[in-house]
Structure 1
Amino acid sequence: MNPEIEISALLLMLLLLLPIIAINTVIQLKINKELMVSTVRMILQLIFVGVYLQFIFTLNHPFINLLYLLVMIIIASMHSIKSSSLKLRPLFLPILISVALPQLIILIIFNLLIAGVDNLFEAKFIIPVGGMLLGNCLNGNIIALNSFYEGIKDDEKRYNYTIVLGASHNQALLPYLRKSIKRAINPTLASMATIGLVSLPGMMTGQILAGALPITAIKYQIAIMLAIFSAKYFSIILSLTISRRRGFTPFNTLNKEIFLNR
């Protein structure tokens, strides 16, 4: 059992923000307001999450657990679209499918075949693991969608010229597809390449703090990293592929109606 963290200790950690705020003021880096708002939001959101997760874990009803996971998927899908400066309505269903499908498949594989849990819908497995997968897929989809559609928008003349010269739609999109996928998965690849050398990752650290043997924690971390990369990769591929029906006109030109007016 880990020692309880006192409120006074958390307040001490908050004091670390004071020199950061002071430095920002001196160099006129105008992020103090954003820093304070983000900090307050983080605290309030985590308190709220802690309260209802305690309730969900105690109740541990399969329907409630699955419903909560689906809510997480919906929120992640919506945030992926909005953070990519794209309109929610035309792209919501394609992105929802692209996020949900890899998540659920890989979550089932991880919990049943890797962790070997008896109850697939048990709260302490489905929610934390699902959250780790979703968090990484969210970042990947934002980078991929933004890079893909903004890249074509900024390079529209060359893209249209390629179509006019007789290239198929797939051929014209391939360079932008490659670039977007690479940008989206590079952070995960970098993390995988340096994990254990530069940092001790979350799942491994959590299990060690909880009393697990380091070798057991390492096995779980290897499994979750491979699960994260796979879920992220397939989600990106599906997002870019399925959203094309809404992102382009029947004449293979970019549909400007999907972009938010800025």
Structure 2
Amino acid sequence: MQSSLYISWTQLALFSMVLFVPLLINRYYQLAMAKEVLIAVSRMAIQLILVGLYLQYVFSLNNLFVNIGWIILMVLIGSSAIVGKANLPKKAIFMPVACGLSLGLLPLMLLLCYVVIRPDPLYSAQYVIPLAGMLLGNSLSSNIVALQNLFEAFAQRRSEYEAAIALGATPFQAANPFVIVALKKAQAPILASMATTGLVTLPGMMTGQILAGVTPILAIKYQLVILIAIFVMSSISLTVTLQLSLQRTLCKTGRIKVKPFN
């Protein structure tokens, strides 16, 4: 197998010239998105370069407490992003989301490090931080979809919810159909992606490893482990997030305390 090939900054800059294509499309159709595109690309480049420099330092330091601190920071930033994108009040929903992500991430990270990958040392930043990033990153969209669907159901199907309470159901029993729908809709994209992986798509991690010189079979093993971990984490984090969010949202009388922003 050929080892990974070096990409110079000059080559990267030259390839970036292809960005003129979407900019020309934007100008032709008068989409008025040129500024937004340039800001997004600039932020992406700056953030990735800074993160790359920081990760080089973290990898060389390889300190247990620094690694744990970085993962905690990722969980907190991810939780804030989920609540913000779902247009929900952070004071009420931030902790349920953070608990959901943490309870989904930490057991899987321990299992991956102790049983499957077994890096040396076990807290090796080279493995721990990228794995945590992949698991968290793939859980963000599903949590956003779940929370949006749950609170939209409270708004659009409120009469159904109130009728169930009037017939003697507890607030949690009345809200359970909304939770089921939210879970199904949140997990549908992950299941569709898993069902078509290998035939329609080649996942980024597998492709990256093959480009880096890893044999396809070993790359597939890593990808299978990651996809299974992503699905399991998504299932755990969604369940915990929705249940804890309901505890913050519903009174014993059935009154809905938390509502999304307009």
Give me the TM-score of the superposition, normalised by structure 2: 0.93
Report SS of the residue matched to 2:200.
coil
**Cα deviation, residue 248, structure 1:** 1.6
Report SS of the residue matched to 2:6.
coil
Structure having greater relative contact order (Cα 8 Å, sep ≥ 6): 2
Q: Which residue of 2 aligns with 1:33?
A: 35
**1:23 partnered with 2:21:** no
Report SS of the residue matched to 2:256.
coil
The 3 A distance-change label for structure 1 pair 164 and 32 is farther
- Picking from 209, 212, 222, the partner of 2:211 is 209
Q: Which residue of 1 aligns with 2:77?
A: 75
Residues 94 and 239 in structure 1, CA contact (< 8 A), matched pair in contact too = yes
The 3 A distance-change label for structure 1 pair 161 and 13 is farther
**Cα deviation, residue 71, structure 1:** 0.6
Number of residue pairs matched?
260
Report SS of the residue matched to 2:88.
coil
Report SS of the residue matched to 1:147.
helix
**1:65 partnered with 2:57:** no
Q: Distance in 1 between matches of 2:96 and 2:154?
A: 19
**1:46 partnered with 2:41:** no
Q: Which residue of 2 aligns with 1:187?
A: 189
Which amino acid counterpart does residue 235 of structure 1 have in structure 2? S
Sequence identity (%): 37
**1:172 partnered with 2:174:** yes
**Cα deviation, residue 210, structure 1:** 2.1
Instruction: Choose 33-42 or 7-16, whichever is displaced more.
Output: 7-16
**Cα deviation, residue 131, structure 1:** 0.3
**Cα deviation, residue 238, structure 1:** 0.4
Which amino acid counterpart does residue 52 of structure 1 have in structure 2? Y
Q: Which residue of 2 aligns with 1:9?
A: 11
Q: Distance in 2 between matches of 1:167 and 1:12?
A: 64
**Cα deviation, residue 97, structure 1:** 0.9
State the Cα RMSD in Å. 1.5
The 3 A distance-change label for structure 1 pair 207 and 27 is same
**Cα deviation, residue 138, structure 1:** 1.1
**1:87 partnered with 2:89:** yes
Which amino acid counterpart does residue 211 of structure 2 have in structure 1? L
**Cα deviation, residue 105, structure 1:** 0.5
Q: Distance in 1 between matches of 2:142 and 2:125?
A: 25
Structure 2 spans left out of the alignment, 5+ residues: none
Residues 171 and 250 in structure 2, CA contact (< 8 A), matched pair in contact too = no
Residues 153 and 254 in structure 1, CA contact (< 8 A), matched pair in contact too = no
Report SS of the residue matched to 1:28.
coil
